[in-house]
Amino acid sequence: MERIFVLDLNEVAMFVQVVRSGSFAEAARRLNMPSPTVSRRIQQLEARLGTRLMQRSTRKLELTSAGRDFYERCGPAIKQLIEAGQLQIADSSAPSGPVRVAVPTLFFDFFDMAWVAAFLAAHPLVTLDFVPSDLPLDLIADRIDVAFCCGLLQDSSYAARKICASDAGLIASPAYLTAQGMPASPEELSEHACVVQSDVNGSTWRLRDMAGVETDVRVQGRFKSNAHQALRKAACAGLGIAALPSILTAADVAAGRLVRVLPGYTRVDPGLNVVYPSRGRRPLAVSMFVEMVVERLGLKDHTAMGRAIA
């Protein structure tokens, strides 16, 4: 009968951690174990294998050729085992861990911070790290777990879905319209000062009328920005006509700080989308946070969200 060779996977995992840490002391710290214990378990592993895996000295630790070969074979397997355990824990327990979230700079102008507080109170093992930006992000390089963005990111490997449709109305301050007049048609916008996004398509507005007919209009202006809030404030200051999501400007319109321009037209807007860095399985904390955002946005209409920023 063939003898079965049995390895202690705990010892193998300790060996991998020592190699990755570069020292027994650092590996012991990461494993929350005494350093002599880690050293003894590695010696036991070497005894089982019948070969020395490491050359130890007071200054450095080096792998033997056998140790390097063993690490290359078992390192990926140990990583997969750890990841499998983490996924199983995520499936069977409360959500936990950090969630790094990319959001537009306007996000918290319509998304109530009290909702975030309630989510954190309900899930005490979760931490949220928000990255506000209106510029495209590399979700992988920037370590983003989930992104909420106006429009879709260019990388086709991302997984995305629309969670909030919105329209972008044309607005301007009463002072600007008193001085420059109200445009009577989309074509007249080219004769007005407009506040536009500073990207390659920011100076072209695609407008849709109530019948669904779309028209592209070239606009120009002396104020540009990638931040929606900056464009909103510029419009309030009388720097020109802006095309912004109605959820951002509803409070200003209601208070008379801004006036609708060409109310029969809206700018074609991609709405708010949720984007993940990959199409694979997601941690429970990420999925539950996205569900909370979708639910909260579904409970509020755009006018109510606009009033929240007054």
What region, left, alpha or beta, does residue 19 occupy, with left being phi > 0 and alpha being psi -120 to 50 degrees?
alpha
Confidence of residue 288 (pLDDT cuts 50, 70, 90): very high
- The arithmetic mean of pLDDT across residues 240-247, rounded, is 87
Taken in order of first residue, the domains within the chain and their CATH numbers are: 9-92 (1.10.10.10), 97-166+271-305 (3.40.190.10), 168-267 (3.40.190.290)
- The arithmetic mean of pLDDT across residues 111-137, rounded, is 89
pLDDT reading at 308 higher than 80: no
Q: What pLDDT, on the 0 to 100 scale, is given for residue 118? A: 94
Q: What pLDDT, on the 0 to 100 scale, is given for residue 89? A: 57
Residue-averaged pLDDT of the chain: 83
Can you read off the two tokens belonging to residue 278? Answer: 């990959």
pLDDT reading at 156 higher than 80: no
- The pairing of beta strand 146-150 with beta strand 220-224: unpaired
Q: What pLDDT, on the 0 to 100 scale, is given for residue 303? A: 36
- The arithmetic mean of pLDDT across residues 22-29, rounded, is 86
Q: What pLDDT, on the 0 to 100 scale, is given for residue 223? A: 93
